[in-house]
Amino acid sequence: MLSRLVLSVAARPKITYMTRPFASNLAVNPKPVETTKSESPTSSAQDALEAVKYAVKDGIAVVKIDIPNSSQNSLNEQVSAELKKIILRVEQDSAVKGVVIMSGKPTSFIAGADIDMLSKCKTAEEAEKLARDGQIQFQRLERSKKPIVAAIMGSCLGGGLELALACHYRIAVNSPQTVLALPEVQLGLLPGAGGTQRLPKLISLTNALPMILTGKNIRPSKAKSMGLVDAVVQPLGPGLADPLTNTHNYLEKVAISFAKELSEGKLKVDRTRPLVERLTNKVLTSRPLLDSLVLRKAREGVMKMTFGNYPAPLKILDVVRTGLTETNSEVGYENEARIFGQLTQTPQSQALIGLFKGRTECKKDKYGPAKKCENLGVIGAGLMGAGIANVSVDKGIRTSLIDMNQDALDRGEKQISTQLDGQVKKKKITKSERDVYFSKLNPTTSYNELRNADVVIEAVFEDLNLKHKIIQQLESVVPDHCIIASNTSALPIRDIASVSKRPERIIGMHYFSPVDKMELLEIITSEKTSKEALAVAAKLGLAQKKLIVVVKDCPGFFTVRCLGPMMSEVVRLLQEGVSPTDLDKLTKVYGFPVGAATLADEVGLDVAAHVATFLGQALGPRLYGGSHELLNELVNAGYKGRKTNAGIYDYAPTSQLPTVLKNLPGMKAPKKQANEEAKKIIAKYHTPPPTSVSSIEDRQLRVISRFVNEALLCYEEGIIATPSDGDIASVFGLGFPPFWGGPFRFVDLYGADKLVKNMERYAAAYTYDQFKPCNLLVEHAKTGKKFYPK
């Protein structure tokens, strides 16, 4: 994620840069900026506006967006109003020959439009007007007779990129902080200020569609090759005292030079693409092929990925088509604004915006002052332990990875090395950065390496006796201030801490696999866990770039406790004769990113059996449904899931193929297929399904309702603090369908009354306790109360 460093430039004395010649193509290997204390009389004008700064330098108006007390700029009402005034002023000032629009923050150009402005729109018409106002403002930039240069450093997202697209020239600093994207689709929306119209005409359609349909980030070098930006400025070297500020100042100087050359006619904008690319794009955007091939294939791809659960991507294709086929460009802009307004009122957009806000909240450090973790210990070099070490060393945290098994330690070290190498290959980090990160790792078999540890996380198998042994061993070595965390997924923290001399320093830190990709960190506090321990654990999790959700101690905590009843229903569906492929399909169509049968294999059937037995003791009849004995028999037969190449599915590796097939060019392992032996075991536990609750819709709702009901019970019992915490944990930890927004948003959107009636039908067909609606759900059904009132 991008740095949150705030560097205010508003209070600095006004300066003028010493003149140096600039090549208009700027391969740019810059040096530190030289300055003097004087300015020309025309550059002394400084606007007193709060969010947008304005000064004239050498005949060029430098407009800096810099929202006070915020690490990111956004296009809010204040910025829009102030920018409008300044552009008017520029147009009327004959002394101004050109304009530079940039940020006053080195790590944020503009990170998008202000979401709160959307929240104020209660109708599609209000949102449409908001989009139209943005279009008009940006059209004014585009039609200006004075050249406008967008100087991009830091995040340039959504409305920020739409503003840059309306400028006449774009330059970007080639740094990790600089990304360009149109991520509105991730909020169930489309770019509403001209993005769907300008982008496909600026760059090739094959580059534009993926940007708008997925919201993917584009780095500066890629943006240059695509034609999205006109020049790339190399950042100043790390040897300087303040490379960010120096690079930011240098960017301003370069941008002024470009604006001046454009105004004097010395620089001509040339975006001519290679002949083959131009011809290809012309053919693809011609009406016959656009409809019959390009957009048809794009729609097929969207439906394959989303099953029609998200309306925005399909609407984007319609709006892009209008812009490319209508001779009157105004028709395209009007269509974009109208569809934008409609999408703001869809339940999918409400759910996704709710997740965005909740995700933002979970990134805040709100747990009090805490010591920074500089020395971390991780016990257990398996998949989870190595993953935790991985997301620590690449944030600069010195990490000792401990395992008594040298082979396991070697595998863990290799896992981390491979992941870092992948980052280099993807150009997310340099090779030198990779070497620095890897040097932070200390693989060892000795607990003595933890004598200076600030935090130690044990990530061993879910065995209480083993965890007790580790706690006692750690407390004989680590300093008194050290926090000891357990990466348990289900065992109560109070039970783990029962052997501790300092139970107030024991806490749960439940990571999700794969750790380097899954954002959620579930932090669990027992009644004895101190506020200091929570603050330290949260600070570490935030440093690892995790979303923090704090839950109270109980068996399974929040995520696993909710998953347990749902997976029990999944096993019951298998027993009722639903094939693994059909089970995967019906859950994926409902919005789960991974099918339920595949998920069971990925988690591990041995883990599922262990958790089912453990949670069954704690939750009783609420966990009933599928047979625990079925899971145990599959595990005893060696079918533990993906880890053993066989579970509900069979995963035959290439090495097991006949030599004649294995040696064929390009031969890969066959796709997973149903495990015939597992099917025989499942058949032994077959139970005929009640026909009254066996439609596809009923099967989907049976699965999700058991998750939802347990989530509401957790909130009822105070296990989670807010509905938003439950929704964030469910979506980012367990893959709950994002377009539903999580279990609490699901109740609001689906309807509590409707849900209760269906659960009562299921209760009549099965054991009542399994589908008994909790008191909170019944209350919402009776009163119409919402978890997220508008």
638: left (phi over 0), alpha (psi -120 to 50) or beta: left
The number of residues in the chain equals 790
CA triple 740-607-379, angle to 5 deg: 105
b/e 563-581 (16+ beta carbons within 10 angstroms → b): bbbbbbbbbbbbbeebebe
Q: What is the CA radius of gyration of the chain?
A: 29
DSSP line for 387-410: HHHHHHHTTT-EEEEE-S-HHHHH
Max Cα–Cα distance, the chain, nearest Å: 90
Burial label for 230, CB within 10 Å (0-12, 13-18, 19+), is: buried
Catalytic-role residue among 184, 519, 522, 710: 522
Asked if 218 and 211 touch (Cβ cutoff 8 Å), the reply is yes
Lookup: tokens for 768: 């009542």
Residue 771 CA: distances (Å) to CA of 566, 624, 757: 11, 10, 11
Sign of the dihedral defined by the CA atoms of residues 716, 720, 723, 728, in that order: negative
Lookup: tokens for 249: 């100042």
Residues 6+ apart with CB under 8 A from 16: 35, 36, 38, 39, 40, 43, 57, 58
Residues 6+ apart with CB under 8 A from 568: 612, 623, 624, 625, 626, 706, 770
3-state helix, strand, coil in the chain (%, to 5): 50, 10, 35
Please give the backbone phi and psi of residue 87, each rounded to the nearest 5 degrees, phi first.
-65, -40
Asked if 131 and 340 touch (Cβ cutoff 8 Å), the reply is yes
What is the rounded CA–CA span in Å between residue 737 and residue 181? 24
What is the rounded CA–CA span in Å between residue 104 and residue 225? 27
433 flagged as catalytic: no
Residues 6+ apart with CB under 8 A from 305: none
- Which of 33, 441, 526 lies closest to 249, judged by CA? 33
What is the rounded CA–CA span in Å between residue 14 and residue 587? 60
What is the rounded CA–CA span in Å between residue 332 and residue 136? 13
What is the rounded CA–CA span in Å between residue 15 and residue 42? 12
What is the rounded CA–CA span in Å between residue 770 and residue 765? 11
Q: What letter represents residue 180's amino acid?
A: L
What is the rounded CA–CA span in Å between residue 274 and residue 748? 52
Catalytic residues: 522
